[in-house]
Structure 1
Amino acid sequence: MEATPHDALPDAARRVAELLETHGCAKPIVMLPATGKTSAEAAAGLGCEVAQIAKSIIFRRVTDNAPVLVIASGANRVDETKVAAHVGPLGKADARFVREQTGYAIGGVCPIGHATKPVTLIDADLLGLDSLWAAAGHPHAVFNLSPQELVALTGAPVVDVKA
C-alpha cells in the first residue's frame, strides 16, 4: 500500500497525519480503495490479518457521560463487563455522540486526537502482534504502527477486554 500525500488526504486524515508528526511518529497515511469501516474490510484492503486491525470502539460512561475508547484487535469482540470493571458502568454511544466526542465519524475513529480526551483501554491481545493498522480519521484512511507505539501514543493501560 502506498502512502497518500498530505494535500490529497481528507481533512480529518490530514489532521491525524499532522498529529502523528508532532508526536514524532511520522507514519504515512494510506487511503484504502474500499471502505475500512469493518475490521474485515480493512484487513482485506491491506492484505493483513484481521487481528492486526486496531479497531476503535467508543462507549459512553454512564456516571459522567465521558467517552470511553477501547482499542481492540479486529479479531476480538469486546466484553463490556470487563471494560466496565475498569472504567465504570457503560452505555451505548450513538453516531452523534461519537462524532461530538471524538471529532471522527464511526469507521474512522483514530486512537488519538479526539475532541474530548477519552478514557482509553488497549486490548492485551494487540501486544502479541508485530504490526497494527489503525483508523486515521476517515473510513478509508489507516496508518501502520507497532503495539508499543500505540501504547506510547495513547498512554493507555493494556488490559484484557476480549469476550
Structure 2
Amino acid sequence: MGRNQGAYLDPSESILMLMVAFLLVLLNAFFVLSEFALVKVRKTRLEELVKIGNSNAKLALKMSQRLDTYLSATQLGITLSSLALGWVGEPAIAKLLAALFESVDLRENPIFIHSMSVVIAFLSITFLHVVLGEIVPKSLAIAKSEKAALFAARPL
C-alpha cells in the first residue's frame, strides 16, 4: 500500500466505522422526523385515536402537551448524532480515500492525497447528513405527520 500504511484503517475497521456512520445518519433522521411530526400532528386527530384505544396516540398526545420538553430532547438527539457522525464518518471515508489514492499512485504528494481525501469525505458526509438525515425525514414528517408521530412516540 505504500510508506504510510499504518495511517490507514484496515478494511474491517473501515466497514465498521462506515456502518456506525450510517446508523448515526438514521438516528439523526429519527430525531428530525420526531421533531417535525410532533409540531405538525393535529391534536384533535390524536384525541380521536386515543378514544379508540391507540396507545401510541396516547403517548404522542402527552408529548404534544409537553412540546418544549420533547423538542429540546429531539434537538439534543440531532446535535449529538450530528457531532458523532462527523467524528466517526469523515475520518473513516478520508482514510479509505487516502488509501485508494495512494494505491493507484494518483500523486506522490502525501499532503495532496490527505487534502483531497478530507475534502471529498467532508462533502460526502455532509451530503448524506443533509439529504438522508434532514431533508427526507423532514418531508416525511410533514407529509405523514400522524403516522410519523405514532411511530416516534414510543421510542422517544
TM-score by length of 2: 0.24
Structure with the largest fraction of helix: 2
Structure with the largest fraction of strand: 1
TM-score by length of 1: 0.23
Larger Rg: 2
